[in-house]
C-alpha cells in the first residue's frame, strides 16, 4: 500500500510540474530588418502586414499555442535585435531560441554566431531547442556562400535549419512547433531526473545505517610510522626526555603506561648507580645521610 501511495504521489507531482511548465519563454533573435516581427505576427494572428513598423527595444509578446501531443501552451516570445550590445540577461530562463537571418543578405549573418554562443552560455539550452531560420525565402534568391556558411554552423552546433516566409506562412508553425515540443520534452526529462534523485536521497540513509565502514579511523604509529586507531580512543604518548641520563627510566615508564601497568620505576644513572632525586624547580635535593648528620652537629654544639 505504501508503494502504491508513493507512486501515486510521484505521478501527481509530475503532472503538476508539467502543467506548471506549460508557460514557455522563447526568444526570436536576429539582425534588424530580417523579419522577426512579421514572423511573430504570422504565428500569433496568421496575418502579414507589409508596413510593419520597426521594433524599438526588446518587446515581449504572449500568445496561446497549440502544440501537437502536448495541448495548449502559453508562449512568451521576446524579440531581440542581434548586436554587440545585446545583453545576456534577455536569454536567462528561456526554453527555446529562434535565430533569424535574411536569405541572400550576408550582412545579416554578422554576429549570429556570437548570439548563438551567448544563448548557449547563458541559457545552456540543448541543441534541439535552438533553430536557425532563413527568412524571406519567397522574395530573394539564395546566396551560395551564405548557404554553405549556414550549413556549417548548423552541422557544427547540431541545430536544425528552416526556411521561413512570413508573407506566405511557410515553415512558421513548423519551427515553433518543433521548438515547443523539444522544450516540453526537456522539462519532462528534468522532472524525471529530479524524482530519481529524490528517490535515491530517500533510500540512502536507510542503507547507510549500521555500516561497518561508517566509523572514521585515525592513524598513529605502527608500520611506516602509522597504525589504525579507532576514533575517540586514548593514545598515550611517551613524555619527552629532559636529560639523557633519564632515558632508560622514562622508556620503562612509557612501556608500563602503554600496558596499563604503572609502577615505580627506579631511575638509573649511566654508570649503574642510583640517580639523585630532583625537585620540580631544578634544585638538587639534600642527601639522606647529610640530612641526618645536620641535627647531630647541632646537638654537639649545644653540648
Residues in the chain, overall count: 303
Task: Choose between 129 and 54: higher pLDDT.
Answer: 129
Report pLDDT digits (tens) over 259-289.
Answer: 554 444 444 444 544 444 444 444 444 444 4
What pLDDT sits at residue 72?
87
Cβ neighbours of residue 228 under 8 Å, at least 6 residues apart?
Answer: 217, 218, 219, 222
Q: Using CA atoms, how far apart are residues 130 and 135, in angstroms rounded to an integer?
A: 16
Report pLDDT digits (tens) over 206-249.
Answer: 555 445 444 444 444 444 444 444 444 444 444 454 455 555 55
Q: Using CA atoms, how far apart are residues 204 and 184, in angstroms rounded to an integer?
A: 30
Q: Using CA atoms, how far apart are residues 179 and 283, in angstroms rounded to an integer?
A: 93
Q: Is the pLDDT of residue 204 over 50?
A: yes
Confidence of residue 16 (pLDDT cuts 50, 70, 90): low
Task: Give Cα separations from 89 to 44, 80, 94, 131 (angstroms).
Answer: 25, 11, 10, 20
CA geometry: angle at 184 spanning 71 and 58, to 5°? 100
Q: Using CA atoms, how far apart are residues 184 and 164, in angstroms rounded to an integer?
A: 23
**N-term to C-term CA, the chain:** 109
- The residue ranges of every structural domain in the chain are 14-198, 219-274
What pLDDT sits at residue 256?
53
Query: Is the CATH number 1.10.10.10 carried by domain 14-198?
Result: no
Look at residues 27, 42, 61, 23 and name the one whose alpha carbon lies nearest to residue 130: 27
Question: Concatenated DSSP letters for 146-163?
Answer: HHHHHHHHHHHHT-EEEE
H or E segment and range at residue 68: none
Query: Mean of the per-residue pLDDT values for the chain?
Result: 73
Establish how many alpha carbons lie within 13 A of residue 131's alpha carbon, considering only the half-sphere containing its beta carbon: 27
Look at residues 53, 49, 51, 58 and name the one whose alpha carbon lies nearest to residue 29: 58
Report yes or no: 238 and 247 within 8 Å, Cβ to Cβ.
no
What pLDDT sits at residue 41?
93
Q: Using CA atoms, how far apart are residues 163 and 132, in angstroms rounded to an integer?
A: 9
Q: Is the pLDDT of residue 26 over 50?
A: yes
Report pLDDT digits (tens) over 175-191.
Answer: 999 999 999 999 999 88
Amino acid at each position: 500500500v505504501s508503494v502504491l501511495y508513493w507512486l501515486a504521489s510521484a505521478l501527481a507531482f509530475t503532472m503538476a510540474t508539467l502543467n506548471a511548465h506549460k508557460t514557455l519563454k522563447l526568444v526570436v533573435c536576429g539582425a534588424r530588418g530580417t523579419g522577426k516581427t512579421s514572423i511573430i505576427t504570422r504565428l500569433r494572428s496568421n496575418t502579414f502586414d507589409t508596413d510593419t513598423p520597426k521594433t524599438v527595444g526588446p518587446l515581449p509578446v504572449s500568445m496561446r499555442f497549440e502544440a501537437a501531443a502536448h495541448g495548449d501552451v502559453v508562449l512568451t516570445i521576446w524579440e531581440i535585435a542581434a548586436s554587440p550590445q545585446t545583453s545576456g540577461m534577455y536569454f536567462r530562463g528561456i526554453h527555446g531560441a529562434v535565430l533569424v537571418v535574411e536569405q541572400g543578405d550576408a550582412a545579416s549573418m554578422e554576429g549570429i554566431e556570437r548570439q548563438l554562443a551567448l544563448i548557449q552560455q547563458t541559457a545552456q539550452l540543448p541543441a534541439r531547442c535552438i533553430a536557425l531560420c532563413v527568412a524571406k525565402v519567397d522574395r530573394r534568391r539564395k546566396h551560395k556562400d551564405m548557404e554553405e556558411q549556414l550549413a556549417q554552423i548548423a552541422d557544427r552546433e547540431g541545430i536544425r535549419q528552416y526556411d521561413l516566409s512570413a508573407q506566405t506562412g511557410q515553415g512558421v508553425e513548423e519551427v515553433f512547433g518543433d521548438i515547443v515540443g523539444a522544450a516540453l520534452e526537456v522539462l519532462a526529462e528534468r522532472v524525471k531526473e529530479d524524482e530519481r534523485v529524490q528517490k535515491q536521497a530517500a533510500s540512502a540513509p536507510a542503507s547507510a545505517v549500521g555500516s561497518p565502514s561508517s566509523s572514521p579511523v585515525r592513524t598513529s604509529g605502527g608500520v611506516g610510522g602509522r597504525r589504525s586507531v579507532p576514533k575517540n580512543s586514548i593514545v598515550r604518548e611517551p613524555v619527552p626526555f629532559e636529560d639523557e641520563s633519564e632515558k632508560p627510566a622514562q622508556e620503562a615508564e612509557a612501556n608500563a603506561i602503554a600496558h596499563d601497568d604503572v609502577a615505580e620505576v627506579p631511575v638509573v644513572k649511566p654508570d649503574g648507580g642510583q640517580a639523585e632525586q630532583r625537585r620540580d624547580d631544578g634544585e638538587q635535593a639534600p642527601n639522606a645521610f647529610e640530612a641526618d648528620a645536620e641535627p647531630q652537629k647541632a646537638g654537639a654544639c649545644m653540648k
